[in-house]
Amino acid sequence: MLEKKSLPCLLRPAPVVYLVAMCRAVPVNDLLDRASQRSDKMHSLSTLLTQEMDSHFPPYGRMQMPRPADCHTSALQTPNDKEQALQVSESDLMSLARSLLQAWVDPLAVLSTSAITLPHPSKSSISSKIQELQEHSKSLADGLDILSGKMGPSAQAISFLPYTGGTDLGQDRVTILNKFNFLLSCLRRDSHKIDSFLKVLRCRAAKLQPELC
């Protein structure tokens, strides 16, 4: 069995001969490009979700809405502007992206189950988008696992950000919708963070190909 380091390949373990003959290492640039495309899609979906929610349910009130600081991922220290982002190392950027992605596995499941019974006229559209988000999230996580394997141990560290909101969004319609809205806004922010970090990584890895930026 070949070591993963010497022959980075996305194929499952296979006979050596087959690996040598068929396996062709996918360059990091290409992997990052694919990953950033998926994160872009995720961000787009979450943006559409918030817009769809707002079209029929205006925010209850800015003051009474939970603050973004209350997002379960807000504890994670992330760069907040361009200078900071450009100074973070690639491994740290990858680690941040992976941590955020991992943190949304459970909440997405909660959102998915809640969307089916959501007291909202567009609940079917919302539900399908959330399912799509889950799929993209899963595949992106797999891809980032492989990418981080090439970047060193610091890239593979994941910060643990548990979701403590429980499986139930509330009892009454207003509470449910509020919570749903709040979670979607948190998701939109975090998906944008993931997208931005990966795109910075992609551009940095493609120094010789500025068109990828």
Partner 1 sequence: MYNARMRTHLGLVILCVLSAARVCSSTSAPESPRKFDCRSREKETFSCWWEPGSDGGLPTEYRLFYTQERLREVRECPDYVSAGANSCFFDKKHTSIWAEYTMTVVATNALGNASEEFRITDVMEYVKPDPPVNVTVVVNSSAPSPFLEIRWKSPPDVDVRTGWVTLKYELRVKQNDSKEWKTVDIGSETFFNFYNVYPGLLYMAQVRCKLDHGKWSEWSNTIFAEIPKNHQVEKYFWIFVFVFSLIPLLMGIYILLLKRNVVKQCLLPPVPGPKIKGLNAHLLKSGRSEDVVNALMGNQNFPPVAAWTEQVEDFLLVSDSDEWLLTDSFASEKKKDIFIIPAGLHLGLEIQCRDLSVDLNTWEKTDDSKEEAKSNFLNTEPINLPVEKHEFLNGEEMSIQPLANTSYVDIQQHPTLTDYSRVKEVNDNTILILNEEEIPHGLDAEEVKSEVSVPDDYSRVKEVNSDVVFLEKGDSTDGCCKKKEDHYTDWTNQKPIMPLESELSKGFCLKMIASGYVDSGPAFSVK
Residues within the interface to partner 1 (CB under 8 A)? 40, 43-44, 47, 62-63, 67-69, 74, 78, 80-83, 85-86, 185, 189, 192-193, 195-196, 199-204, 210, 213
Q: Can you read off the two tokens belonging to residue 182?
A: 């709040």
Closest CB to partner 1 among residues 3, 83: 83
Whole-number Å distance between alpha carbons of 170 and 185: 17
Minimum distance from residue 92 beta carbon to partner 1 (Å): 16
In the complex with partner 1, which residue's Cβ is closer, 32 or 176?
32
Q: Residue 14 has which token pair?
A: 């296979």
Residue type for position 101: L
C-alpha angle 193-199-202 in degrees, rounded to nearest 5: 145
| Least distance from partner 1 to the Cβ atom of residue 69, Å | 5
Q: Which of 211, 93, 197 shows the shortest CA–CA distance to 152?
A: 93
> Which is nearer to partner 1, 93 or 177 (by Cβ)?
93
The least CB distance from residue 188 to partner 1, in Å, is: 8
Largest CA distance in the chain: 64
Q: Kindly state the smallest distance separating residue 182's Cβ from partner 1, in Å.
A: 11
